[in-house]
Each structure stands twice: as C-alpha cells, then as structure tokens.
A = this chain, B = another copy of it.
Amino acid sequence: MTVDLLSRQNCSDCPIRHRAVCARCSPEELDQLERLKTYKSFKAGDPILWRGDTLTYVASLVEGVATLGKTMEDGRTQMVGLLLPSDFIGRPGRSEIDFDVVAVTDLTLCCFQRKPFEALIGSTPHIAQRLVEMALDELDVAREWMLLLGRKTAREKIATFINMLVQRQHLSGAENDKRALVLPLTQEQIANYLGLTLETVSRQLSAMKKEGIVQFSDRRHFEVVDFPALHMATGDDSDGGMLV
C-alpha cells in the first residue's frame, strides 16, 4: 500500500463526485470532507482488509476494481461483492469487517479516518442518508445474487454476470463506445463470484463466443454482439426483455 500524497486532487474534479458517498454534499460539506481525506493506492493482488480487521478508516473506491470475499477453512471461496469506482468500504456504526477486501487491479482509495468521519456523519445528514441508501442498494444486490447462486444454471450465471457488467459500466458514464467493455476479473475470480469452477466458466464463455453473443478483442476487453440473446440467457425474463 502506498500513500499517494502527490495526486491529492480537488473533490470537484473527482471522477466519482456525483455517485460516491459524497454525491449529495453541498460545497461546504465537501470542504469538510476534503480536509479529512487521504488517497491510498494498492497494486493488483494486494489485500486491502482482512476479515476480522478493525476498520481504522473507511473509503471510497476512486479508480480500479476490488472484491469482497469469504473463504472457508478448506479454501473454498465465495465472492460476496464487486467494488467498482464510487463504491464504499465501511459501514455506518460498524467497526469490524466480515470479509476480505482485495484489489484485483491497481486501484486508488479516497480514505477517511473512521472516527472523524463518523463524527462528521452526525452533523452531515446528506452523507448519512447517502450511506444508508448505498447499504440498502448492496442488500438488494446481495439478494439478487442469492437467486443467482441458488437457482441459476452455469450459463445463466455467466450471462447474468456479463449483463451486470454492461449495466454497471454504462451507468458509470463510460464515455467511449457503448460496446467496449472491460472484464476486470480472471476466470477464476469470476468462478468464485458465481459459485462455479474456473473450467465451467471457461466452457460457458467459449460457448457464448461460438454462438456469437459476445466477442473478445483480448483477455480483458470484449463487446456484446447479441444483446437479446444475452438477456435471454440470463433467465431473468422469458421473452428476452424485448419490448416491441
């Protein structure tokens, strides 16, 4: 982990300004946060927090990708969350963390010491509200994932995963071609996210390439060629989500 003193930037230029925990802050509130914040960088593969760690700071993910994961004693692991830019680490009123947080790409955090941050929450309803809202969104996502893990087939899981990537990357206002998408995880990581083995992930992805649903330019970059087929494959909607 590196404390990156140089790139200290102004909140108003921040790429996640309008989506992160500070989304609804007024300029004055932003000033207060600005005084508290520190940037930290991690390299791909670095552990950020271990299960059971005491949270000395909380943070917004500014850039990069991280995962939340749980591991059983015999090594089986299940990811329980995927953090993309603007996502938050740390919970109101919680000092401990119940899963591992790992950087999967190089990444930058916008960190706040937990104690002063919590003090600030008391006086800044905009932050408190946003924090609750974000936690509830996570709960919805977790429950949707429970349906996926418990009931979907391998193919449906992969399709749902890709669909989720599409939606989250569009949402975050990817400026470039709508179709150019990043696959931030290795197939092993995808497997851990979907409750599969890496071989099954490979086979299903190969099948979807062969069927012309998705197309890869290289290992980490792809586009969706056939959206109706993709949506159909998620199992979410029998008619493939077509409105017409």
Contact = CB atoms under 8 A, between A and B. Distances in A.
Interface residues of A, number: 39
A238 B74 contact: yes
In the complex this chain forms, how many copies of it are found? 2
A160 to B, nearest CB: 11
21 contacts: A70-B146, A72-B236, A74-B235, A76-B151, A77-B151, A78-B146, A78-B151, A80-B143, A80-B147, A81-B143, A99-B143, A135-B135, A135-B136, A135-B139, A139-B142, A142-B146, A145-B146, A149-B150, A149-B195, A150-B194, A150-B195
Interface string A72-90: 1110111011000000000
A13 interface: no
Q: Which 3 A-B pairs have the closest CB atoms?
A: A150-B195, A149-B149, A142-B142
Interface string A219-244: 00000000000000001111000000
A80 B151 CA distance: 12
A199 interface: no
Contacts of A135: 132, 135-136, 139
Nearest to A145: B146
A53 interface: no
A208 to B, nearest CB: 20
Contacts of A98: 140, 143
Contacts of A149: 146, 149-150, 195
A91 interface: yes
A94 interface: yes
A89 to B, nearest CB: 14
Contacts of A129: 93
A143 B68 CA distance: 10
